[in-house]
Structure 1
Amino acid sequence: MLLRAPLTQDHIDYLRKRGFLHPDESVRSSGKAGEGNMNVTLAVATDKRTIILKQSRPFVAKYPQVPAPPERTGIEYQYYQCLASQTDLAGYSPRIIAFDPDSWLLAMEFVEQGADYLKIYQQPDQFTEALAEDLLNYLKALHQLEVKAFPENQAMRALNHQHIFVLPFQEENGFDLDGIQPGLQPLSRMIKTDPALIAKVMQLGERYLSPGRQLIHGDFYPGSWLSSPGGLKIIDTEFAFLGDPEFDLAVMLAHLHLARVPENRLKSLLESYPLDEALLAAFTGIEILRRLFGLAQLPLDLSLEEKEIYAHHAIQLILHDAF
């Protein structure tokens, strides 16, 4: 059963049959929920409540030409299940209502007045002391969690590996970067013609694909953080796996760099959560480069000259392993 908005009566009957809707619950409206990349995500308002339905397809919803493993909503469900009994973590997750593995369909509570932090790239003052503390508390608790078994999530990691460690560094990758910003395509050659850089990136890509030691979120960037009256919520966990905690913190740091959060704020984060500094620096640099020159672009308000400065800084992080 493939869902799309508006829901049909067949969709509604299916949802009732699978326990997503109560027998006496009537659907009043349904529509797209947010600007997600990976999945079809709908907000469904009933006469009793509003729920979020998230369904994966065998491709990326925003880029149908990119194949993606459909079991990713199952990974997200298992991630939330791991956190559900943990006092320090459960409150950061939306409440899960139901999961249907036959249709890879996940239902969760609608976070009232929830808003992601994608505006942080234009409004870096959104990164407050309170938000920084919340994010670090979440990562520390997550990375200390004892998880005996979790899916390898190898198919999603392979997809992410291609878009982080491989495609942005290939001369002929099919990306029309000049369509995003004139001059970005020739600028990208600076990371495609450096053998030392490419060798180091390949090495880090192998590290990313190797078995790790802690459960990590896998895509810990501002689009996965929701502000709400009930506090911070962390969503979109389909890239989760047992890996290096440095990867989560590096993704966070990379996006704060691109949002122009002051360096002294970033250094305070590093001091409060000490990890392998060399690995952290390298992963940070790679995330910056893939967001500048890869397929998954951000709403950045940066000139070409500023992007060049960021790219040089990212290369230094990768090759010299230091902030």
Structure 2
Amino acid sequence: MGLVPAQAPPPMTPLAGGVSSDIWRVDLPAGTVCVKRALPRLKVAAVWEAPVERNRYEWEWLREAGRIAPSSVPRLVAHDVEAGCFVMGFLDPAAHPLWKAQLRDGVASETTARAVGKRLTAIHGATAGRADVRARFATDDIFYAIRLEPYLVATAARHPDLAERLHAIVARTAGTKHALVHGDVSPKNILIGPDGPIFLDAECAWYGDPAFDLAFCLNHLLLKCLWTPAATAAFLRSFDALAETYLAGVEWEARALLEERAAHLLPGLFLARVDGKSPVEYITAEADRERVRRTARPLIANPPATLAAVREAWAEALPGSVQ
């Protein structure tokens, strides 16, 4: 990429936090950057392999999102397709805290949740119905390999009585083509910057069902109730704020239809985070895993039409029945 002379490698520090890529902080004379390279096998307990060309689509997602909302992505520096890596600006954690870290500490701001929902719906809306974007992100195989299979298909194998329902959700999600999807809208991939949320880690970029992004993000707000129970009420308010703000911005299709797809996806993703290939690291007690299963399974068997129905079922399942 020509950023440094080969004979004088700069200081490089590996960064933690991801399972699908190697990421380094690199201190260049002109400033600090991050270098990211996709791995062919993800760093999880189960065997989980994925095409490394996803790095190229991540770069393209960041470029597209940056055109729509410039402050929603890091500064892009360089991209090497053959090496399967790209370089982006380094964002100081002091000024760009990780949303996941805030939630872990019980800081659940409805303002932040609304900002995430608003920015996400802006990206979806600006790419909805665009044939040029759809052609550039025809990544169905990658999305299946790193999202649908390890989450929903793998969970179906653990719950055979729900397999038909989960496979139907997979088929509908895979067949829905409305907008550019990030695919990993998780608090661990969102920095809270001075100018709003900044999205990272778009390796799952795909032109498909925007309901997946909405459900994927909301899922984390439900799960955090088990990580930091004292902030449960705030997490549920953030869930409401994000969902309401996002849905208010949906103009490319009937809001009720998108919400229904998200409401069907959400219980499956919820169950997947204890029984799929990528269980969340902070749910370690079997009693908590069972609480997730008891909530998710009936909702998969009898899918709700609204996100509020999923949220209410989870609130009732929590100690003290927080509403």
Tell me the TM-score range normalised by the shorter chain: 0.7 to 0.9
Counting only pairs closer than 5 Å after superposition, residues 16-165 of structure 1 correspond to structure 2 as 18-21=1-4, 27-61=9-43, 65-86=47-68, 89-113=69-93, 114-119=96-101, 122-123=104-105, 125-146=106-127, 147=130, 148-149=132-133, 150-159=136-145, 160-165=147-152
Amino acid at match of 2:82: D
Residues 268 and 62 of structure 1: is their aligned pair in 2 closer, same or farther, counting only changes over 3 Å?
closer
| Alignment deviations for residues 57-97 of structure 1 (CA, whole Å, 9 cap, x no partner) | 332255694321010110011111212322xx220100110
Contact 1:75 1:238 in 2 (8 A): yes
Q: CA RMSD in A?
A: 2.4
Contact 1:25 1:46 in 2 (8 A): no
Give 2:208's match in structure 1, choosing from 243, 249, 252.
243
Q: Establish whether residue 202 from structure 1 lines up as the match of residue 167 from structure 2.
A: yes
Q: Establish whether residue 218 from structure 1 lines up as the match of residue 183 from structure 2.
A: yes
In our comparison, the structure showing a higher alpha carbon Rg is 1
Give 1:255's match in structure 2, choosing from 216, 220, 228.
220
* Superposed displacement of residue 320, structure 1: 2.7
* Superposed displacement of residue 230, structure 1: 5.4
Counting only pairs closer than 5 Å after superposition, residues 291-310 of structure 1 correspond to structure 2 as 291-301=273-283, 303-310=285-292
Residues 61 and 105 of structure 1: is their aligned pair in 2 closer, same or farther, counting only changes over 3 Å?
farther
**Bigger proportion of residues as helix:** 2
Q: TM-score, normalised by structure 2?
A: 0.79
For residues 315 and 74 of structure 1, the distance between their equivalents in structure 2, rounded to whole angstroms, comes to 36
Q: TM-score, normalised by structure 1?
A: 0.79
Q: Secondary structure at the match of 2:214?
A: helix
Contact 2:21 2:38 in 1 (8 A): yes
Contact 2:99 2:192 in 1 (8 A): yes
Unaligned runs of 5+ in 2: 226-231, 248-254, 310-323
For residues 133 and 252 of structure 1, the distance between their equivalents in structure 2, rounded to whole angstroms, comes to 12
Amino acid at match of 2:244: E
Contact 1:27 1:45 in 2 (8 A): no
Aligned length: 280
Amino acid at match of 1:219: D
Give me the identity figure in percent: 22
Q: Which residue of 2 aligns with 1:271?
A: 244
For residues 102 and 276 of structure 2, the distance between their equivalents in structure 1, rounded to whole angstroms, comes to 20
Amino acid at match of 1:166: V
Q: Establish whether residue 320 from structure 1 lines up as the match of residue 302 from structure 2.
A: yes
* Superposed displacement of residue 297, structure 1: 2.4
Contact 2:113 2:238 in 1 (8 A): no
Contact 1:25 1:48 in 2 (8 A): no
For residues 111 and 8 of structure 2, the distance between their equivalents in structure 1, rounded to whole angstroms, comes to 39
